Amino acid sequence: MKPFIIPFCLIASLNLIACNGGESTTKVYTQTQQNGTDTLAKTDRGKQIFEERCVVCHGIYGNARNENAANLQMSRIDSPAIVLTIDNGRGNMPMFKDAIPDSDMAHLVAYVVSLRK
């Protein structure tokens, strides 16, 4: 049931943060479309989680520091697929479903998407 709830929660969380309708003090920065790229959202909290959990394998810029890690700059999977990958792991990547709370997942996913070129 979690995979169906997370995309809804992810969208709702990003909307609340972007509209500053919640109590979150996290700043959300958006970049408008340029050269056909999608609009990106980048959060300070997402970057913090990424640096704590992901940098070891994916590198500071998401460009696969570890040869077995995915290059996140080149990844094109959508946000629900990113959540599933983080929760359940993939290949050599461990699962983080018990390590990253749902309340932080939207921030992390937004940051991962912002790493794309």
The range of the structural domain enclosing residue 74 comes to 2-114
- The total number of structural domains in the chain stands at 1
Global pTM value: 0.64
Report yes or no: 48 and 37 within 8 Å, Cβ to Cβ.
no
Model pLDDT for residues 72-116, shown as the tens digit of each residue? 999 999 999 999 999 999 999 999 999 999 889 999 999 999 999
The DSSP annotation for 49-76 comes to HHHHHTHHHH-TTSB-SSTTS-BTTT--
- Check which CATH number belongs to the domain holding 84 and give it: 1.10.760.10
Report yes or no: 25 and 99 within 8 Å, Cβ to Cβ.
no
Across 1-117, where does the E strand assignment appear?
28-31, 40-43
Mean pLDDT (whole number) for 59-76: 93
Share of the chain above pLDDT 90, in %: 56
20 vs 88 pLDDT, higher one: 88
CA distances from 8 to 12, 61, 89, 102, 110 (A): 6, 28, 21, 11, 14
Q: Characterize 43-69 residue by residue with b for buried, 16 or more Cβ atoms within 10 angstroms of its Cβ, and e for exposed.
A: bebbbebbeebbeebbbeebebeeeeb
Note the pLDDT of residue 43.
67
**Which residues does 97 contact at the CB level (< 8 Å), separation at least 6?**
2, 86, 87, 88
